[in-house]
Amino acid sequence: MARQQRLSIAARKAGSAFLKTLRTLVLPLAGLLLWQGEARATHAMGGELTYECIGSNIYRVRLNFYRDCNGVDAPTNCSNGRQFRVRSTQCGANLTPCFSLDGVDLVTPVCLTATDRCNSASGTYGIQRYRYSAVVNLSAYAGCGTDWIVDWDLCCRNNAITSLNNPGDRNLYLYARLNNTLATCNNSPTYLNTPTPFACVGQSVSYNHGFNDADGDSLSFNLTNALGANGTNIPYSAGYSALQPIVTSGGANAVQINPVTGTITFVPSIQQFAVVSVRVREWRNGVQIGEYIRDVQFAIIACTNNLPQVSGVNGTNQYTYTTCANVPFCFTVNSSDADAGQTVTMSWNSGISGATFTIAGSGLPVGTFCWTPTTANIGQNLFSVNVQDNACALNGVNNFGFAVQVTPPFTPASAGPDQSVCGSTATLAGQLPWSGDGHMERGERCGNLRERQQPDHQRDRLGRGSEHLPLDGGLRYMRHHLR
């Protein structure tokens, strides 16, 4: 319950900041989006699948679906789109449960004086977020399956998309992979930022999903192909690809994703409506335990406003920070805007429980992040910082991801007993007090001790357990230690 409350608070804060931005937008988008007069009734803009463990072998699966209100209605029953699949080849399982509707949110980026298409047929633009969920009980497969996949698809994608070939005939496909053999059942990461951003031609864009992983697992990110019916690759339009899904003037590799924070950066060169698909992989103690895909649709429009920016840690260009558990720390991030006289507001997505983010100053505020991580936070911890200016008619918005890597506290390691060696091998029984990788050094007495392949007397990446070390022949006496 505490976890649900934390996520709910974080999501509300992120949603509130985003909606505040949306209220200031106007409607310069008609020529680009073509949401009126589509060739067919399309409506799927994007979404994500997540799950949380609510009991032994029991998971609550959630779907957030983003709908274009100019298209057909959102799914209303199992026959027209609410059914999804839960399957495992290892366990011989193929389940087809059905989502229930939890609620609908209006997230259209129009100003308050504009008519929303979701409320009236006289409106031009309209975007709704449909929140669905279902409880899946895998008790009949307890302890079985590292290959579970939860997937869902729906026809059809938004016909305004320019980056995909024939988008109005392509399904939106989402998946989440699940390992049901873990000693502690897993919760997938959650997304706290809406995947329907708007950006300006020629401006530096930074988008972060606002990831949160309640279990403290590590996440890695990469761009991947947009998927259609049953997970098949969708072909891209000329000039677009999975790794370069937005047209820019920067050539190859101009669209970047930070593999640690998940932040997507680029400078678009033309007006476009582009799909960016991101694969998220989840790791625990170096082992992959989950995988997910999320579609983000960028509407790139013509505007002259420079988007506000956020610095890295303490004014640098570094967006990662490493610290030991049980050590309190703070760092600052600075906002900036190339347009003189504009006022920038700053917020964060409350992505790290127990941390504080204090905002000071007006015009170009400075944010101060403070936290005392515990041993329960060892690993990767993510949050995002959002900035928006007061340009009119379109506010400039960017968001930036930060990663805090928490390492174990300084703790003496057990190097095991000293070894007297007669022969060509010895077993060094060093033990690390924490899971992960260690570093071993060996000192010598009574002769020349060296490892055959590594004569510098050290071995990296020592894990828990023993180390079997081949030595030169002869009598050796060694003393070893870990650090």
The helix (run of H) or strand (run of E) holding residue 388 is: strand 379-389
Of the listed ranges 105-119, 278-292, 327-341, the least confidently predicted one is 105-119
- pLDDT tens-digit map of 323-382: 999 999 999 999 999 988 889 999 999 989 999 999 999 899 999 999 999 998 988 899
Tokens 């209100």 label which residue?
69
How far is the C-alpha of 370 from the C-alpha of 348, rounded, in Å? 13
pLDDT over 80 (residue 471): no
**Alpha carbon 235 to its chain's center:** 24
What does the pLDDT read at residue 81?
Answer: 93
Beta partners for 335? 310
The tokens of 26 are what?
A: 């106007």
State how far the alpha carbon of 358 is from the alpha carbons of 133, 152, 186, 361, 370, in Å.
34, 40, 32, 10, 8
**Alpha carbon 411 to its chain's center:** 32
pLDDT over 90 (residue 30): no
Residue 444: pLDDT band with limits 50, 70, 90 = very low
Residue 117: pLDDT band with limits 50, 70, 90 = confident
pLDDT over 70 (residue 305): yes
CB atoms inside a 10 Å sphere around CB 17: 21
pLDDT over 80 (residue 67): yes
In the chain, pLDDT over 70 holds for what percent of residues?
75
Of the listed ranges 30-39, 84-93, 211-220, 274-283, the least confidently predicted one is 30-39
Residue 40: pLDDT band with limits 50, 70, 90 = very low
State how far the alpha carbon of 370 is from the alpha carbons of 100, 137, 263, 353, 461, in Å.
39, 39, 21, 11, 31
Would you say 340 and 391 are in contact if contact means Cβ atoms under 8 Å apart?
Answer: no
pLDDT over 60 (residue 310): yes
Of the listed ranges 64-68, 122-126, 197-201, 392-396, the least confidently predicted one is 392-396
pLDDT over 80 (residue 76): yes
DSSP state for residue 313 in the 8-state scheme: G
Of the listed ranges 3-17, 68-82, 162-176, 375-389, the least confidently predicted one is 3-17
How far is the C-alpha of 240 from the C-alpha of 165, rounded, in Å? 10
What does the pLDDT read at residue 96?
Answer: 98
